[in-house]
């Protein structure tokens, strides 16, 4: 229960602090390109810490890593209230990105070694997203949300003191070994491509919804639809084949992006939110289960998956901001559709190739 509570609180904090970040960055004078750049700073720092602490979790005890990640997150999320221009916001968001890359791999592996359901554990992250979006929509004031998100991380940090130290094998891991990456190349690259397109859209989606007439309240409410549906879906995916989950997660994501492209007002974003809920739930659970089950270095494999999504955050943020700056909203969404097609093609091709080699 403590692992689920930590997952819930951490994800609530992440979403309530981040959903209005593009709007907040614009209020500090950032251009569309700089909005993407700020998001890229966050993602780059998360990529680095996910890689480092995923490896560390295979070597060391899991509980201290979880506690350290939650503690630095509580501090860094509070620091966001001190941002006064685009440059200071970029630096502080990099600090936030680093902090939220510390604990996820250790949490996932704790769940695995406790023989609990990764799908059900992941569902509490989605529940946290939903609460974070709803709280953001109702409160509206971004500085109040920064303080509340820091408080949630503080509670999660205190809850982590009640965790038992999970018994797991200590593995000798080279920080520079590419063996885990090669073993799961089909998953990492496919996740990167799909998520790059999704982030390109996510970076500009609050602005797109505002353009279509949505208030901050409606942005928060419509965003909450996605994780609310995810919560129920993720809890029922344990018995499906992981490769099937990944394929259909990518397909459904592509259909969601097409729905966004066709939207004529902010209410018509809702069908896409339903589709993206199915897409991310299937893809996230399938990818996490597959890489952890395949690998001896389980925390490293989960950390690399988190790093792949962070790398996609970097590329998607930069490309999303750039395409938006020079071409427009709908052209950014077309880019996401193309990324989904490439992701599906790569996964199907690589997965078939690996099966032939194993035969």
Domain 2-163+179-358 sits in which CATH superfamily? MFS general substrate transporter like domains (1.20.1250.20)
Which of the listed ranges 45-49, 153-157, 325-329 does the model predict with the highest average pLDDT? 153-157
Distance in angstroms (rounded) separating the CA atoms of residues 325 and 332: 10
Closest CA to 111 of 97, 121, 102: 121
Half-sphere exposure of residue 51, counting CA atoms within 13 Å on the CB side? Answer: 18
Residues of the chain above pLDDT 70, percent: 94
The vertex-92 CA angle with 86 and 94, nearest 5°, equals 100
Look at residue 168 in the predicted model and tell me its pLDDT: 66
pLDDT digits (tens, 9 = 90+) for 161-199: 888 777 766 666 555 556 777 788 889 999 999 999 998
Look at residue 354 in the predicted model and tell me its pLDDT: 57
pLDDT digits (tens, 9 = 90+) for 224-269: 888 888 888 887 887 788 899 999 999 999 999 999 888 888 888 8
Residues of the chain above pLDDT 90, percent: 28
Q: What tokens does 24 get?
A: 């907040």
How many separate helices (H) and strands (E) can be counted in the chain? 15, 0
Distance in angstroms (rounded) separating the CA atoms of residues 8 and 2: 10
Question: Which pTM was predicted?
Answer: 0.76
Give me the chain's average pLDDT, please. 85
DSSP secondary structure letters along 108-135: HHHHHHTT--HHHHHHHHHHHHHHHHHH
Sign of the Cα pseudo-torsion (132, 313, 32, 147, in order): positive
Under the banding of pLDDT at 50, 70 and 90, the label for residue 91 is: very high
* DSSP type of residue 80: G
* pLDDT above 90 (res 46): no
Look at residue 94 in the predicted model and tell me its pLDDT: 93
- Out of 129-138, 287-296, 298-307, pick the least confident: 298-307
Element (H or E) spanning 237, and its range? none
Burial of 99 (0-12, 13-18, 19+ CB in 10 A): buried
DSSP secondary structure letters along 298-356: HHHHHHHHHHHHHHHHHHHHHHHHHHHHHT-HHHHHHHHHHHHHHHHHHHHHHHHHHHH
Within 8 A by CB and 6+ apart from 30, the residues are 38, 86, 89
Distance in angstroms (rounded) separating the CA atoms of residues 215 and 70: 32
Look at residue 357 in the predicted model and tell me its pLDDT: 44
Of the two residues 304 and 172, the one the predictor is more confident about is 304
Biggest distance spanned by C-alpha atoms of the chain:
59
Determine if residue 328 is left, alpha or beta; phi over 0 gives left, psi from -120 to 50 gives alpha, anything else beta. left
Residue 214 CA, chain-centre distance (Å), reads 24
Q: Average pLDDT for residues 264-288, to the nearest whole number?
A: 90
Under the banding of pLDDT at 50, 70 and 90, the label for residue 278 is: very high
pLDDT digits (tens, 9 = 90+) for 316-352: 878 887 888 788 888 999 999 999 999 999 998 887 6
How many other CB atoms are found less than 10 A from the CB of residue 34?
19
Distance in angstroms (rounded) separating the CA atoms of residues 297 and 169: 10
């Amino acid at each position: 229960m403590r692992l689920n509570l930590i997952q819930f609180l951490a994800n609530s904090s992440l979403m309530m602090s981040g959903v209005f970040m593009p709007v907040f960055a614009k209020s500090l004078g950032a251009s569309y390109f700089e909005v993407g750049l700020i998001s890229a700073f966050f993602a780059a720092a998360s990529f680095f810490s996910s890689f480092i602490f995923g490896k560390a979790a295979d070597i060391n005890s899991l509980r201290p890593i979880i506690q350290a990640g939650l503690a630095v997150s509580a501090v860094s999320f509070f620091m966001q209230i001190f941002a006064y221009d685009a440059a200071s916001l970029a630096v502080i968001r990099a600090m936030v990105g680093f902090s939220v890359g510390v604990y996820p791999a250790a949490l996932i592996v704790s769940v695995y070694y406790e023989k609990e359901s990764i799908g059900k554990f992941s569902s509490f992250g989605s529940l946290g997203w939903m609460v974070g979006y709803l709280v953001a929509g109702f409160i509206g004031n971004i500085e109040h949300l920064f303080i509340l998100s820091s408080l949630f991380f503080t509670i999660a940090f205190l809850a982590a003191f009640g965790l038992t130290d999970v018994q797991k094998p200590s593995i000798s891991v080279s920080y520079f070994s590419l063996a885990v990456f090669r073993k799961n190349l089909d998953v990492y690259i496919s996740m990167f491509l799909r998520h790059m397109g999704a982030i390109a859209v996510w970076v500009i989606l609050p602005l797109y919804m505002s353009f279509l007439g949505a208030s901050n309240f409606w942005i928060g409410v419509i965003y909450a639809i996605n994780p609310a549906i995810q919560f129920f879906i993720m809890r029922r995916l344990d018995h499906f084949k992981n490769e099937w989950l990944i394929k259909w997660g990518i397909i459904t994501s592509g259909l969601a992006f097409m729905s966004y492209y066709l939207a004529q007002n902010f209410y018509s974003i809702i069908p896409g939110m339903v589709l993206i809920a199915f897409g991310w739930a299937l893809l996230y659970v399938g990818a996490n289960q597959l890489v952890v089950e395949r690998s001896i270095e389980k925390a490293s494999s989960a950390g690399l998956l988190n790093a792949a999504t962070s790398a996609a955050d970097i590329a998607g943020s930069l490309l999303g901001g750039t395409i938006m700056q020079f071409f427009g909203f709908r052209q950014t969404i077309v880019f996401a559709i193309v990324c989904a097609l490439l992701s599906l093609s790569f996964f199907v091709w690589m997965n078939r190739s690996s099966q032939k080699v194993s035969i």
